[in-house]
Structure 1
Amino acid sequence: MIRQPKDPEDETVIEQRAVQLLSRREQSEYELVQKLCQRGFAKEAVQRVVAKLQERRWQSDQRFAEMFYRSRVEQGHGPIKIKAEMQQRGIAAATIDKIFSSAETDWVALATDRYLRKFGAAKLSQLEPKERAKRQRFLAQRGFSANHVYAAEAAVQESLENAD
């Protein structure tokens, strides 16, 4: 059970709690405001404190989004899922677009890597339709577009043909 603060407007206490949260990991502005409000602090006071933290560069949606993007790419997630998760965390569309355009992620290579790690190499002609659909769903659920999925399958197929 979360204890209610003695004074929900006390910006010093709000700042201490915000810094504790930020010391654990980067937080988006939206996440930070949500977490502090859930702990019983007044939203207006929380927003003032977060604005101060942003002025000091202790909280930055840009920095959070860059870190989040790298983390999710390293985990093997596709662009659709990453964008959706960033939007859920309150990152502005312009910031998301900027990060995606500045990063040079090869989504097909990432999808191919995920496919090979999960299923290994197998000729598509040897797969039952249900199995092939299962493999395509796996990549789609990780956030890859249909184009990425088909390109990953083609890359796996090509690597098998080159190995022969």
Structure 2
Amino acid sequence: MSHPKFTKLIDYEALKEQYGESDPSITQKELEKSSSGHFSQDHADPNALSFSSDNLKSDQGLTGTRLRSYAFAVLTRKEYSKADLIEKLAMYAQSRDEVIELVNELARENYQSDLRVAEMMLRSQVRKGKGPNRIKLALRSKSLDKTLIQDDLNEIDWYEQAYQLKIKKYGVKVEKDQKLKAKQIRFLQYRGFEMDVIMKAISRKEDEE
């Protein structure tokens, strides 16, 4: 449905101050808060948690058993996407190629899982009232393929999500004033909802299903 009075392009930087939110891409803190930690201490090397800053910042860098132990230490604290784990380990490793080989092995053994990270991010973003466009943006920021959770995205009732978000902020009244309606549209666009869903949500009457 086309609504020429309202722009379809979203200036996130301009809107984030208006709605008091952080950058639209998922932040490291959001991921840490939502992570419950897939790994237990049983999976890690006995020395995995013994790393100090001095050990990690050696001139030679980590390799072999020490690199593997550090990888487990990292993964016991929280989940990482494959891309983020590679960058994390490469900061302290002697060889980036060894890091990539190790991370690929950890992924094959299911110690690291992009699917788990994507599912975790989806749950976190939905709880925060984010729509599909913001969720896809968050996934892209972690180099995660949206197809990992495409089925989950398709199963969510985005219309209901948008409507509940609208009434929480603006109430159940169907706004007729064009300026106030435009404000609601911009808000839901910023949250990541599609225009057709937005128009249905802001036009829905209280007694409608």
Report the TM-score, using the length of structure 1 for normalisation.
0.81
Aligned counterparts of 1:131 and 1:61: Cα–Cα separation in 2: 41
How far 1:8 sits from its partner (Å)?
Answer: 2.8
Map 1:87-126 → 2, pairs under 5 A:
87-101=140-154, 104-125=155-176
Which 5+ residue runs of structure 2 have no aligned equivalent? 1-52
Match status 1:10 vs 2:63: yes
From 118, 121, 130, give the equivalent of 1:77: 130
Higher helix share: 1
Aligned counterparts of 2:197 and 2:92: Cα–Cα separation in 1: 42
Number of residues of Structure 1 aligned to a counterpart in Structure 2: 155
Provide the identity percentage: 28
Which 5+ residue runs of structure 1 have no aligned equivalent? none
Q: Is the 8 A contact 2:184 2:202 kept in 1?
A: no
C-alpha RMSD of matched pairs (Å): 2.4
Match status 1:66 vs 2:119: yes
Residue identity opposite 1:107 in structure 2:
W
Residue identity opposite 2:165 in structure 1:
R
From 135, 143, 146, give the equivalent of 2:195: 146
How far 1:66 sits from its partner (Å)?
Answer: 1.3
Q: Is the 8 A contact 2:67 2:93 kept in 1?
A: no
Q: Is the 8 A contact 2:107 2:113 kept in 1?
A: yes
Q: Quickly say closer, same or farther: Cα 1:136–1:53, change in 2 above 3 A.
A: same
Aligned counterparts of 1:98 and 1:68: Cα–Cα separation in 2: 15
Q: Is the 8 A contact 1:9 1:45 kept in 2?
A: no
How far 1:96 sits from its partner (Å)?
Answer: 4.1
How far 1:86 sits from its partner (Å)?
Answer: 0.7
Residue identity opposite 1:109 in structure 2:
E
Q: Is the 8 A contact 1:5 1:40 kept in 2?
A: no
Deviations 1:66-104 (Å, cap 9, x if unpaired)?
121111112111001101211221112432434434xx2
